[in-house]
């Protein structure tokens, strides 16, 4: 997973930084290259989070229990016990 994340971040910077550089060359400015790099990193982080999700819970902890180990009471329909 480490190489995939690194590759995604680098390719995001390269692609969007390149697009920013091309726009800067076309418009004779110097603002779009850094904006493109920042946009590339932002989009790459979003893609990594959507692809791999949140990290696994710490060892020894059950993902279904809230912190403290106590579960809330089950909800019932009105009139039932």
User: In this predicted model, what pLDDT tens digit does every residue of 15-73 receive, in sequence order?
Assistant: 999 999 999 999 999 999 999 999 999 999 999 889 888 777 777 655 555 566 566 66
Pick the closest to residue 37 from 57, 24, 50, 21 (CA basis): 21
Residue 37 and residue 10 in contact, taking contact as beta carbons nearer than 8 Å: no
Is residue 62 helix, strand or coil? coil
Length of the chain: 81
Residue 16 and residue 43 in contact, taking contact as beta carbons nearer than 8 Å: yes
| pLDDT value of position 4 | 85
**Whether this model's pTM surpasses 0.85:** no
Residue 73 and residue 40 in contact, taking contact as beta carbons nearer than 8 Å: no
């Amino acid at each position: 997973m480490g190489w995939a994340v690194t590759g995604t971040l680098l390719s995001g910077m390269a692609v969007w930084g390149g697009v920013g550089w091309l726009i800067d060359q076309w418009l004779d400015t110097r603002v779009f290259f850094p904006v493109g790099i920042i946009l590339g990193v932002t989009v790459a982080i979003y893609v990594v989070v959507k692809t791999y999700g949140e990290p696994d819970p710490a060892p020894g902890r059950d993902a279904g229990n809230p912190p403290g180990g106590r579960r809330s009471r089950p909800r019932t329909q009105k009139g039932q016990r």
